[in-house]
């Protein structure tokens, strides 16, 4: 372990807040950029990076850290992946809930005209290919493999574009509870 990491970790375990704040200031921008590569959502990135630093402070006396840089990046990466898994699980269950609700109600009962208009406007703000992939998945019911085959792109590209589309739509339509429920 580098000498500076040893000194910083020793000071942290002694409760030196000045060293903690200095560590936060020096790593925060880099960790935000790192998290953003996973999530494309600044608010979620802020929450995750702050959580990592809070955990570091709260467990400063019991953690065995070999490299601060490695520890912080690994912790952020793991929290980002956990966040993405949780979104995926929610999305799957929410789609099933909406599908079952739509089976019991006509579309006119479920979707008010203003909501339909806002959703279409938000979709039109997406980049062309992202919008196309999103429509194929959610409006035409194609699987990710079918979309990838039809557009001659990889399945991981489809997944990435759908994730980015959901995040952008959430940001554009955050106050519409039905859409948040759907996405």
Reading the block at residue 17, the tokens are 């807040």
Tell whether 54 and 121 lie within a shared domain.
no
DSSP 17-33: HHHHHHHHHHHHHHHHH
pLDDT digits (tens, 9 = 90+) for 18-34: 999 999 999 999 999 88
pLDDT digits (tens, 9 = 90+) for 130-163: 988 888 887 777 888 989 988 889 999 999 998 8
Instruction: Decide: 131 and 151 in contact? Cβ < 8 Å.
Output: no
- Cα separations in angstroms, 41 against 14, 46, 144: 35, 9, 23
Count of structural domains, the chain: 2
Domain finish residue from 42, 63, 83: 83
Q: Is the pLDDT of residue 58 over 90?
A: yes
Tell whether 20 and 78 lie within a shared domain.
yes
Is 91 inside any structural domain?
no
The pTM (predicted TM-score) of the whole model is: 0.52
Beta-carbon neighbour count of residue 98 at 10 Å? 14
What range defines the domain where residue 79 resides? Answer: 3-83
Tell whether 10 and 77 lie within a shared domain.
yes
């Amino acid at each position: 372990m580098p000498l500076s990491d040893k000194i910083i970790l020793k000071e942290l375990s002694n409760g030196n807040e000045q060293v903690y704040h200095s560590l936060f200031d020096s790593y925060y921008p880099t960790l935000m950029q790192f998290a953003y590569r996973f999530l494309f959502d600044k608010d979620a990135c802020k929450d995750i990076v702050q959580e990592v630093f809070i955990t570091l402070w709260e467990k400063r006396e019991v953690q065995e850290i070999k490299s601060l840089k490695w520890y912080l990046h690994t912790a952020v990466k793991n929290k980002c992946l956990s966040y993405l898994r949780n979104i995926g699980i929610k999305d799957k269950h929410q789609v099933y809930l909406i599908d079952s609700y739509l089976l019991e109600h006509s579309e006119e009962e479920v979707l008010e005209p203003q909501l339909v208009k806002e959703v279409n406007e938000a979709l039109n703000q997406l980049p062309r290919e992202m919008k196309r992939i999103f429509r194929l998945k959610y409006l035409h019911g194609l699987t990710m493999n079918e979309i990838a085959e039809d557009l001659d792109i990889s399945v991981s590209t489809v997944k990435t574009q759908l994730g980015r589309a959901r995040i952008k739509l959430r940001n554009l339509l955050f106050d519409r509870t039905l859409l948040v429920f759907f996405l």
